[in-house]
A and B are shown apart, each in its own frame.
Chain A
């Protein structure tokens, strides 16, 4: 089937999409957007997290056909040109990135949290990131990054 979907503000088309294909596969393999990572394909790790119509979802569990006519925003769509989003900048500044595999999903999840709750408590941060696994950092630096991104966005 042919898929029409708006990705990061641009109308995109993909052809020969298989009925059982995931949004993650379309993004990575057909639209050249490898930012969203494929690690588990079963909703456990969150590294494929993207916005679907402003709601964070695991793109590995969304059938591509379900996104027909809808809006997707991936980690590639967060920065403003060369200027990183405050959440991205904060991950860099706080050493929250080691191998980086979990980073795109965590950045999208944290971006969503700060959009809804500008000044989250530690409990709220932990709850919001509960669907994202990181095997490297031990999470402390990630929590630091989200806390300081909250401060940075508050000031702006």
Chain B
């Protein structure tokens, strides 16, 4: 096995084109577990932590370009206000040590159905910036997850960044697990409301072969929410939203939970996050008035 340590992105892309079997290594919190347990013996590791550009973020025209290698701890500390949904998800990842190393690029590379950033990226309409020696392309999050632990990357491609709108909307994330730290989600849910254009993004994690949007639930909510008269929401509306979210799932029974529990819990998370986001909407309305 070789250890390859490119200093620039161009160098890394050239290596990846020449050696598509080289496994990218960012924070290592997924890759190293597989190596330590002999689950994987790639021909080479392609360490991306020497490439400064991947560990930066910037904001242009209301779009955040978040480098694939920015660790969760920095997302929480530096982007808590700009990307509140992603920061909420980041706070629930593993432990402080894991958040100090783990990255969104790595979460996308692993493409686990239980990865915590995926529901947020889907609900926020993120685009994944992917590069190779052939050029750069932007993959909408909903086209990125192609199967259990599979993604839309070609063998010569690397994830360079995630682009998502700096929050003007109301963002929420919630996750069910057995304790407050160090848990892989039993199920997770992200919600983004855009009152200015009556838009809704809603997505589920850990309840289908891939993370996915709950499109019918999104359409229902966009049409039914009393956007301009933000009073308390009727229970019937919240319940229906929860049912539609549960209907978007395709869960399995596994060690972390049963399919029935996941469906039930997601309906609850959907109602709860809607209540929280709507409360924030009402608060904002008051402070503008």
Q: Which residues of A contact B (CB under 8 A)?
A: 1, 18-20, 22, 41-44, 46, 49, 55-58, 60-63, 65-66, 68, 109, 127-128, 130-132
Contact = CB atoms under 8 A, between A and B. Distances in A.
A68 B25 CA distance: 14
Contact of A66 (B25, B94, B100, B182): B25
11 contacts: A43-B94, A46-B95, A57-B100, A57-B101, A60-B32, A61-B32, A62-B28, A66-B28, A131-B96, A131-B98, A132-B95
A130 B3 contact: no
A56 B2 CA distance: 27
A60 B28 CA distance: 10
A1 B37 contact: no
A63 B97 CA distance: 15
B182 A68 contact: no
A56 B100 CA distance: 7
B1 A19 contact: yes
Contact of B96 (A18, A61, A127): A127
Interface of B: 1-3, 5, 25, 27-29, 31-33, 35-37, 41, 44-45, 47, 49, 73, 94-98, 100-101, 180-182
Given A1-B3, A22-B32, A49 B97 contact: yes
Contact of A43 (B3, B5, B44, B97): B97
Contacts, number: 90
B96 A66 contact: no
Nearest to B100: A55
Given A43-B94, A65-B47, A131-B96, A60 B101 contact: no
Nearest to B23: A20
A71 B229 CA distance: 57
